[in-house]
Chains A and B, each alone.
Chain A
Amino acid sequence: MRYVTERLNDIIAGLVTLAVGLFIVLQGRSYSVGELRNMGPGYFPVAIGCAMVLLSVVMIATAKPADDQMGTSWHQVRGMVFVTAGFAAFALTIEPFGMLAAVALAVFLSALASRATSIVTALVLAVATAAACVLLFRVGLGLQIQAF
């Protein structure tokens, strides 16, 4: 068991590669594969998938103990959640509500990713960035994005 836990990073990497490779092979086989002299759309994907399966075998067979432990600190999780929320907010609001609202929301949410930023700072930054973006991109460069 210790053999596996010490080599966890390499083994997980190998298993992920194996899974992706198998998926590509299976999906590729659903297209016409053909033969070397007349390759179908499935030939190349199947070949790539097989290569990945082979690589995953080498990866698992030569797994070695990791030097440093994997680990994410809390501020990274917080960053991930809020930055993703910022992007999602932009994607959801850009078409119905326009650039002003979308940029303000994206900046406000992603500003909260850092604990050093207070809500008031985030609000001010959001409004200022949104106004500047509208001026620069809509008025200045004339991008075809509605301001509101």
Chain B
Amino acid sequence: MISDVLAGLSVALSVDGLLYCFLGVFLGTFVGVLPGIGIMATLAMLMPITYHLSPNFALIMLAGIYYGASYGGSTAAILMNLPGTATSAVTGLDGYPMAMQGRAGQALFMTAIASFVGSMFGVVLLVCFSVPLSRIALQFGPQEYVALMLLGLIAASVIGSGRTIRSLASVSLGLALGLIGLDLNSGTARFTFGQAQLFDGLPLVALAIGLFGLPGIISNAGRTTLPKVEQTNFRLRNMMPTREDWRRSSMPMLRGSSVGGFFGALPGTGGLVATFVSYAIERKVSRRPEEFGKGAIEGVAAPEAANNSAVQAAFIPTLSLGIPGDPVMAIMLGVMMVHGILPGPTLIQSSPDLFWGLIVSFVIGNLMLLVLNLPLVGLWVRLLSIPYNLLSPVIVALTCIGIYSVNYQVSDIAILVAFGFLGLGMRALDFEAAPLLLGFVLGPMVEEYFRRALTISNGDLGTFTERPISAVIMVIVALLLVWAVVSSVLQMRRGRVRHAS
């Protein structure tokens, strides 16, 4: 154990380790700050860069991009009320009013501190739970894996989404898209329509950027005006929160971290649910609930801590079970597989340098972010004043080069544009794209384990309820599905009543 941690330290503290960690958090913050570009889009657009690195450094950098982007996303939300993601929208609820009152500096300062506290809390959870969980998981059979993956897929669609049936349809489409290519058991080419490029399956990068990056670029490209940023003086001295601010924020930060750690570790939930729940909790327990939405600093501190704690805790199921809890983790898992690393319970034992290197890099990366976001926040604020009409063509060019440099295939760009339009269409019809990506990455694994489980049991579906762990999970899955149908029937009823009155 000690030698494993030391191996991790030597990876993360090597010159390359520090460099790629810094590059990750820097680029993540950079793109995350740009208004209207969310974490998924950031990650998808910067993913091609990491393809040329060794797996250890690729994951360190990718993870840095992820938590860097979640730091940066709140800057645009606070200063311009233009959140890149739904999670930073919660921060904007009270952050933007604070900026309007001339307290943008304090809001940004507290955001950075809360993010740091939340992240460190999440890292501690990750260290405490991953190793024991992976020991338990060594006894899992294919039944448990099928059950856990189904739970992840269905929880991701049902929890935290207003349109559960649509999200379940997205998951299904994702599962089907994941099957494109040669079937490994029989050698049959499925859904390839004679295109040899599709035999290896759809390229993850093109699919992810198309679905998450392109709709934003396209719908913002024609935009002419953006809200102006108040050019306040962002010197560290002026940003210092008052003693009162600190007193009001400390407990919300701790509560937010716990809420985030809990939801982040559950499969299928993650940052979004965590931020909403922690905001709701703070409003409930506050002695001044009327101040929420008008610039209460608790409303900035708690959801930021929750979001970042969830970001780190989401690595628990990914690294110890090989099951991604949210779409971002699905991308991480996809990149691991591209590099030939098989995620699963043996990962921590077989590549301790990767696991511990990643964890040490989380601590270092978050320290770097503290520096990037406190003394250097003025830099990001200036970035926000670049006119969007000059920025978006450059983003288009960088996306093209990024995609093309992965495989040097022109067809990847066609796939990118096709998925861009799929993403736009799904937006227009209120389908969420995140469940689709989760399904896409898990699709081949679900099929493989499902086949294996039923071959062992000789075609008896009862095998999933005979083993205690998989039985419990299957019951939860069934309850979630029932809830999905019931809630959409209830919504219809409510809609009809409101419509009649």
CB neighbours of A9 from chain B (8 A): 429-430
Check A31/B190 contact, CB under 8 A, given A84-B417, A91-B413, A113-B221: yes
Which residues of B (200-230) have their CB < 8 Å from a CB of A?
214, 217-225
B405 at the interface (CB under 8 A from A): yes
* Residue in contact with B217 in the complex, picked from A38, A74, A83, A145, CB distance below 8 Å: A83
B458 touches A45 (CB 8 A): no
Which of chain B's residues has its CB closest to A80's CB? B218
A102 at the interface (CB under 8 A from B): yes
Which of chain B's residues has its CB closest to A115's CB? B224
Check A79/B169 contact, CB under 8 A, given A91-B413, A117-B389, A145-B405: no
**Distance in angstroms between the alpha carbons of A58 and B398 in the assembled complex:** 42
Size bracket, chain B contacts: 35 or more
Check A56/B401 contact, CB under 8 A, given A41-B183, A76-B222: no
A79 touches B219 (CB 8 A): yes
B389 touches A116 (CB 8 A): yes
B368 at the interface (CB under 8 A from A): no
Q: Which of B28-36, B66-74, B281-289, B447-455 contacts A (4 or more CB under 8 A)?
A: B447-455
Looking at B389, B396, B397, B496, the one whose CB has the most chain A CB atoms below 10 A away is B397
Q: Mark B490-501, 1 if CB is under 8 A from A, else 0.
A: 011001100100
B221 touches A82 (CB 8 A): yes
**Distance in angstroms between the alpha carbons of A108 and B405 in the assembled complex:** 21
Which of chain B's residues has its CB closest to A6's CB? B499
Q: Mark B155-169, 1 if CB is under 8 A from A, else 0.
A: 000000000011011
Which residues of B (80-102) have their CB < 8 Å from a CB of A?
none
B396 touches A107 (CB 8 A): yes
Which residues of A (108-136) have their CB < 8 Å from a CB of B?
108, 110-111, 113-117, 121-122, 125-126, 129-130, 133
Q: Which of B15-23, B115-123, B171-179, B330-338 contacts A (4 or more CB under 8 A)?
A: B171-179
* Residue in contact with B400 in the complex, picked from A49, A55, A102, CB distance below 8 Å: A102
A32 touches B392 (CB 8 A): no
CB neighbours of B492 from chain A (8 A): 62-64
CB neighbours of B410 from chain A (8 A): 91, 94-95
**Distance in angstroms between the alpha carbons of A78 and B392 in the assembled complex:** 14
B394 at the interface (CB under 8 A from A): yes
A70 at the interface (CB under 8 A from B): yes
CB neighbours of B220 from chain A (8 A): 79
CB neighbours of A45 from chain B (8 A): 176, 179, 190-191
* Residue in contact with A58 in the complex, picked from B165, B173, B176, B431, CB distance below 8 Å: B165
**Distance in angstroms between the alpha carbons of A16 and B154 in the assembled complex:** 21
CB neighbours of B401 from chain A (8 A): 99, 103, 133, 137, 143, 145
B188 at the interface (CB under 8 A from A): yes
Which residues of A (65-114) have their CB < 8 Å from a CB of B?
65, 70, 72, 74-80, 82-84, 86-88, 90-91, 94-95, 99, 102-103, 106-108, 110-111, 113-114
B408 at the interface (CB under 8 A from A): yes
B199 at the interface (CB under 8 A from A): no
A90 touches B451 (CB 8 A): no
CB neighbours of B168 from chain A (8 A): 51, 55
B residues with CB within 8 A of A: 165-166, 168-169, 172-173, 175-176, 179, 183, 185-186, 188, 190-191, 214, 217-225, 387-390, 392-394, 396-398, 400-401, 404-405, 408, 410, 413-414, 416-417, 420, 424, 428-431, 447, 450-451, 454-455, 458-461, 485, 488-489, 491-492, 495-496, 499
User: Which 10 residue pairs across A and B have the least CB separation, nearest first?
Assistant: A37-B459, A75-B222, A79-B222, A64-B495, A79-B221, A114-B389, A113-B221, A36-B459, A41-B183, A111-B393
Q: A62-B165, A87-B396, A137-B405 provided; 14 other pairs, C-beta below 8 A? A: A28-B190, A44-B450, A48-B176, A58-B485, A59-B166, A62-B491, A79-B222, A84-B218, A107-B397, A110-B393, A114-B388, A129-B393, A137-B401, A145-B408
Residue pairs across A and B with Cβ atoms less than 8 A apart, 27 shown, are A6-B499, A12-B429, A13-B431, A16-B429, A21-B172, A24-B176, A40-B186, A55-B172, A63-B492, A76-B219, A80-B221, A86-B396, A86-B400, A87-B400, A90-B397, A90-B400, A91-B400, A94-B400, A106-B400, A108-B393, A111-B393, A115-B222, A116-B387, A121-B390, A129-B393, A143-B405, A144-B408
A residues with CB within 8 A of B: 6, 9, 12-13, 16-17, 20-21, 24, 27-28, 31-32, 35-41, 44-45, 48-49, 51-52, 55-56, 58-59, 62-65, 70, 72, 74-80, 82-84, 86-88, 90-91, 94-95, 99, 102-103, 106-108, 110-111, 113-117, 121-122, 125-126, 129-130, 133, 137, 143-145
